[in-house]
Amino acid sequence: SALCTSEIEAAAAAIARGEATICCAQEQQVFEELAGEIDAPSPPCLDLRDRAGWTEDTASTLPKMSALVAEAGLSVPAAKSIDVISEGLCLVLGPAEIALQAAEKLQDALAVTVLLDDGTEPPMTRTFEVIRGRLTHAAGALGQFDLRFDALQQLEPTGRNWGWGAPRDGGRTNCDIILDLTGDTSLFPAPEKREGYLRADPKLAPSIADAVLQAVQLVGTFEKPLFVRNEPLLCAHSRAGQTGCSNCLDICPTGAITANGDHVSIDPMICAGCGSCASLCPSGALTYDAPPTDSLFRRIQTLATAFLDAGGSAPRLLVVNEHGRDMISYAARLGRGLPADVVPLEVEALNTYGHAEILAALAAGFAHVDILLSPTVEREVLEREVALAKAIAGDKMALLDHFDPEGLSSALFEASVPAANTNIVRPVGTRRQITRQAAKALNPEATALTLPIDAPYGAVLVDTSACTLCLSCVSLCPSGALGDNPDQPQLRFQEDACLQCGICASACPENAIALEPQLNLADSALSQVVLHEEEPFGCVECGALFGVKSTVEKIVEKLAGKHSMYQNSDAARMIQMCDNCRVDAQYHQVNSPLSGGERPRVRTTDDYLSKRRDH
């Protein structure tokens, strides 16, 4: 009951043996320092009291405590990162009076340059730099901002009267930090997520003071996490100029994702790690990597397994981020806490918890999944993912929009809980594979589920009366869902691989393809089926099969005797020949453009010697 004070020797002994899990985050620093003093690894720590122990629910909290302790014992891989170096080069923007005051406060800690408006007189100081002009372009993030100016004038502090140099366009420079005190439109989308870009309301002195304090702390070497892993070969953005999936481009709040040919590229310095792109990526080309996605699935399954093994039934999962963690703490200390059957799961980025994660939790034994929204989350992403999950598993998940701890507690205590899934599975693999396995467990009698129009699962419908089997769709399909048969004219399709990117439909010259969002749970979805096939045409010369009979006949009908190149029967007959026979016929026809004159005889040594003897 007092391990951090009078019983600290018992804690030290347990930590030294490697047997301790500290269930009090309030005193985490004390136990970490204790581990350092005895040269032992820091023990895992969790808020067991706030998240499980302090509640008005009279039911046993042992299953939830067991689940949280089991999760705390998992080893989660550390996020990959790169070093970002900031040397303190700071550009200050804003009205002259305010910007110059801020520069005076920063001049001892940073290398400051103030951008003044046209007509502003220069200050009589050289403790920081001043320039005048218009900022026309800003890109980058902390440590690598790229800036461009027009009408740029630099100060010429010579003689008694200082003045400005001649203006010039196209000035370019770099800086590490931008302090924006203009109060105008932000230089960047989602400015709160752009590291190194600090904004403050010029009318509020506390706001300016906070921004100045933050700027002073942005000097040194920082670790920038690599939030998202990109596999360009899996990307379904476009093929041969035909645009397909653009989910990540449309949703990225910071503009870190840009089109790069048939694929997309991510600027890791701008990426803020919201995880929206990873949730919406249909192919798995973009996956969250801080920590890796598979570690999240392990945590979900560990929580469910430990809860059920400890005698609990029908647990509910509450997914939160740092904001939600604080809400739970306030609810526990000041209010009713959480119900005994509600198991909280804290994630780094709330938008990474998409439909695959929701379905995995339900399949693992959770009866319901709630996601607590926070002020900075991209809500439309979660709404889209929850709608997709509901189409697959029914009304067993919800978004909670509460910013009052008491409101959160009331919503959870008063909610009706559906029965838990009895067909428990723990799916593994990619997010698409996990979705399919979980959906089969949650819908054991279903064969196909109708999905929303923007779902990444579905079928391809082919109008066989319009399709000519040109196979343009096959050559452009980024996932290989559409295929052909090298032995006969066939269009084949594997539904499980289809991303519903739409490239095939946009590339079809006959407009014969349509998409049907659905999740086919039958085994046939895992193998190729024939969407359209026709009889091949036999060469009139050698009998070899080539092309499509209906297409060849249609070409003959349109060209024979009607086109200048096919006026005679021999020329028209070439349309009905395979490649080899057609070339042979063209070569041997009268006045063939492919035939040349008689080849000259090869000269030999005897020819040269006989010519010499004759002379």
CB 548 within 8 A of CB 537: yes
Question: What are the pLDDT digits (tens) for 36-72?
Answer: 999 999 888 888 888 888 899 989 999 999 999 999 8
Q: With 70 as the cut, is the pLDDT of residue 272 above it?
A: yes
What pLDDT score does 560 carry?
Answer: 86
Q: How far, in Å, CA of 438 to CA of 446, rounded?
A: 13
Partners of 484 in the beta sheet?
491
Mean pLDDT of 5-23: 89
H/E stretch holding 287 reads strand 286-288
Name the more confident of 319 and 592: 319
Question: What are the pLDDT digits (tens) for 387-408?
Answer: 999 999 999 999 999 989 999 9
Confidence band of 596 (pLDDT split at 50, 70, 90): low
Q: Nearest to residue 414, comparing CAs of 29, 56, 19, 62? A: 56
Q: Nearest to residue 351, comparing CAs of 328, 376, 333, 314? A: 376
Q: How far, in Å, CA of 429 to CA of 437, rounded?
A: 10
Question: What are the pLDDT digits (tens) for 142-168?
Answer: 999 999 999 999 888 777 777 888 899
What pLDDT score does 609 carry?
Answer: 83
H/E stretch holding 362 reads helix 355-364
Total-model pTM: 0.87
Question: What are the pLDDT digits (tens) for 564-580?
Answer: 878 888 888 888 899 89
For the chain, the average pLDDT equals 92
Most confident option among 176-180, 425-429, 586-590: 176-180
Question: What are the pLDDT digits (tens) for 445-461?
Answer: 999 999 999 999 999 99
Lowest mean pLDDT among 169-173, 427-431, 519-523, 611-615: 611-615
Question: What are the pLDDT digits (tens) for 536-575?
Answer: 898 998 988 888 888 888 888 888 888 887 888 888 888 8
Confidence band of 597 (pLDDT split at 50, 70, 90): low
What pLDDT score does 592 carry?
Answer: 66
Instruction: Tell whether the torsion through CA atoms of 561, 565, 568 and 573 is positive or negative.
Output: negative
Mean pLDDT of 219-240: 95
Residue 527 per-residue DSSP state: S
CB 323 within 8 A of CB 248: no
Of all residues in the chain, the percent with pLDDT exceeding 90 is: 73
Question: What are the pLDDT digits (tens) for 473-517?
Answer: 999 999 999 999 988 899 999 999 999 999 999 999 999 999 999
Which residues neighbour 393 within 8 Å (Cβ) at sequence distance 6 or greater? 358, 359, 362, 438, 439, 442, 443
Burial class (CB in 10 A: 0-12, 13-18, 19+), 79: middle
Q: With 70 as the cut, is the pLDDT of residue 130 above it?
A: yes
| Ranges of H-type helices in 415-454 | 431-442
Q: How far, in Å, CA of 256 to CA of 568, rounded?
A: 62
Q: With 90 as the cut, is the pLDDT of residue 611 above it?
A: no
What pLDDT score does 593 carry?
Answer: 64
Q: How far, in Å, CA of 581 to CA of 97, rounded?
A: 86
